[in-house]
Amino acid sequence: MRFDLITLFPEMFAAVRDQGVSGRAHARGIWSLETWNPRDFTSDVHRTVDDRPYGGGPGMVMLAEPLALAVEAARAARLKAGADAVGAPAPVVLLSPAGCPHDQARAQRWAQELGAILICGRYEGIDQRFIDRYVDEEVSLGDFVLSGGELGAMVLMDSVVRLLPGVLHDAESAVQDSFNPALSGLLDSPHYTRPEAWRGDAVPEPLLSGHHARIAVWRREQSLALTAARRPDLIARARAAGLLDARDERVLEQAARMEKPADGGS
């Protein structure tokens, strides 16, 4: 898999390229990353990549031409490297606060593909004519404001690369993840390790019992209660998908009673 990043800040990508799980996978050749700086595709002495918005307003807008030349260079390099299937050029994806929110389903889909050309914006925005001509898809990280698309692109790549075959050890397996089928889309239960008592706080007894069935029941209860408290939307989704059984529903009723004790009456 190959990602081509169109960015004014190529140095930022050392984080995902060189560190941790994604860094190890990169070193093993499972994926690659190339950067293309729009500033290198300018032709004026000041190497201008932005200008003032037509119609007025705050901030600056990225020029279409340096972005277009950078995308064309990335496309040509991918073609030369044989990075894409014949006749199936990689999608051009813009990281944007106005995009569709990224999620695990999108990460899973991308993990089946050969990569993408990712456009990282800076300033107030990008000339819409570039977006109309070149961008296939706009993706957001969520409803908060970033200073540019680079961190979004790194989050996106990290979420995809860790799903590629051979990237995770068994011990870090994606099969134990918060969004994996075994957990029915619920949040994961809490984790504990040595020592058994830390500053007077004990590890929950079921985890020390050695009874695998009791441990599984405790973890499921913890997952359900935590998810109900923090992400009721995920409970509703799991229920709609038929992933909660009668015992799960009893645990949720019990958790709701603990949360909101019954009125003792007048």
- Which one of 147-155, 177-185, 208-216, 234-242 is the stretch in contact with ligand 9D3 (CB under 6 A)? 147-155
Question: In the complex, which residue's CB is closest to ligand 9D3?
Answer: 152
DSSP per-residue letters across 192-259? --S-SEETTEEPPHHHHS--HHHHHHHHHHHHHHHHHHH-HHHHHHHHHTT---HHHHHHHHHHHHHH
Quick check: 30 and 161 in contact, CB under 8 A?
Answer: yes
Q: Residues 23, 89, 91, 97: which binds ligand 9D3 (CB under 6 A)?
A: 97
Q: Residues 2, 38, 121, 228: which binds ligand 9D3 (CB under 6 A)?
A: 121
Compute CA 1 distance to the chain's CA centroid, rounded to the nearest angstrom: 17
Rounded Cα distance, 134 and 121, in Å = 14
- Which one of 21-29, 46-54, 135-143, 252-260 is the stretch in contact with ligand 9D3 (CB under 6 A)? 135-143
144 carries a ligand binding annotation: yes
161 carries a ligand binding annotation: no
Quick check: 32 and 3 in contact, CB under 8 A?
Answer: yes
Asked if 253 touches ligand 9D3 (CB under 6 A), the answer is no
Tell me, yes or no, if 97 is annotated catalytic.
yes
DSSP SS3 for 36: strand
Tell me, yes or no, if 233 is annotated catalytic.
no
**Which whole-number Å values give the CA distances from 183 to 7, 22, 162, 197, in the listed order?**
37, 24, 19, 28
Site string for ligand 9D3, 56-95 (x = CB under 6 A): ---------------------------------------x
Of 15, 2, 19, give the one whose Cα is nearest residue 150.
Answer: 15
Rounded Cα distance, 257 and 266, in Å = 19
Cβ closest to ligand 9D3, residue 154 vs residue 183: 154
Cβ closest to ligand 9D3, residue 64 vs residue 146: 146
Asked if 149 touches ligand 9D3 (CB under 6 A), the answer is yes
Asked if 146 touches ligand 9D3 (CB under 6 A), the answer is yes
Rounded Cα distance, 121 and 172, in Å = 33
Binding site membership: which residues?
121, 141-146
**Catalytically annotated residues:** 97, 124, 162, 177
User: Which residues bind to ligand 9D3, rule: CB under 6 A?
Assistant: 95-97, 121, 124-125, 140-142, 144-146, 148-149, 152
